Amino acid sequence: MKLSDVTDQLKILLPKYTNLFSSQVSFSSVVASSNVVTIDAVGHGLSSGEAATLQGFKYPTPIDSVSQDGLIFTFTTSEEHDLTYGWQDEVELAGFTDAAWNDSFALIDVTNRNTFKVQSTNTLPILNGSEVLYEDRVDGVNGIYTLTAVTPDQLSVTGSGIKDGTYIGGQVHSRVQVAGSVSFERALEQYTEQSLTGVWAFVVMDNAETSKDRNTISDAVATPVTGSDIRLRLVDGFVIHLFKNVSAEIAAEASVDILRHDLLFPILRSVFGARFDTGLSGGGDFRTILKGHNMVYYNRATLVYSYAFEVSMDLIEDDAVQPQDTRAYRDTNYTHTFEDSDTVDMTVTIKNDEET
């Protein structure tokens, strides 16, 4: 698994649950057109080349009709929605004259790409032409981008497959303080040298170890023989080190609560249960689990609190060395030897083709 995959995951999801790792950019509109997202942000103070995370933006899919059958309401959209029944439990509606419909409702069914059904005790609404379905779409603007400072009041980012339109809600986070490091020592050195402020997350990969085959009775990890399939469990993982300046605190009491308690949920929501690419033939079959969390460093100026995660993967026959020098088994040369010395041995070549 890649260190960059873990850091990218944190950069995308952490700002969704906490503002402690990033700065928020005030903006007035976010519009996507031809895979270019334009962000109107007066006095943004950012430079081209800086990274930004767009998070929580929703696309307003227009609604053009509605019908009622008891407590079930069927809505039709003028554009294809991105709803999947069983994936979303609820849908969010807005723009209705009747304020009771500007809310979230239980999704009952998705008939086709332009129709969905919800359950409600409301009365049948009269449409005014402004009604929309708010969607957090996979082809929306949310993600990590490299910024272009078009003007002091406007930013732009470029992606691929982004649906055109004006997006609502959401946040633009700049300078997300998440980075990868080869070791804890190097992360501590970098944090100290740069006099970094706020909370920083440095990800360090853990040692990967092969789990002992429980069927092996010797001291060996495993003893697969020729002709048997290999299957071993490789236990990998990573540690998220949270760095915080505590020089203004007598005993870092407030910071301990922040790193140990307040950030537990955001950290779990960002990586706990995630499936990362292993680089093996089996892919990411196993989900990430939390091993534990604890304080690892304190010198009255800096406090470091760490969350350790484990990722397992299987090493199977498809990951093993493949035979290179092979030849088709065409013929069988057979010799039958007789005990009688006066009898000549019988030698025959048998072709193994199914048809000759």
Q: Is the pTM of this model over 0.85?
A: no
Would you say residue 80 has pLDDT above 70?
A: yes
Tallying the residues shown for the chain, one arrives at 356
What is the per-residue pLDDT for 342?
75
* Model confidence pLDDT, tens digit, residues 2-28: 999 999 999 989 988 998 998 889 999
With cut-offs at 50, 70 and 90, classify the pLDDT of residue 195: low
Q: In the chain, where are the structural domains located?
A: 23-174, 179-318
Q: What is the mean pLDDT of residues 77-85?
A: 94
CATH top-level class for 179-318?
alpha beta
Burial of 23 (0-12, 13-18, 19+ CB in 10 A): middle
Tokens at 67, concatenated: 């019908």
Contacts of 141 (CB under 8 A, 6+ apart): 30, 32, 37, 54, 57, 159, 162, 167, 170
**198/191 Cα distance (integer angstroms):** 11
* Model confidence pLDDT, tens digit, residues 210-229: 988 888 888 888 888 887 78
- Owner of token pair 């609820």: 90
**DSSP class of 258:** I
**162/36 Cα distance (integer angstroms):** 8
**55/171 Cα distance (integer angstroms):** 5
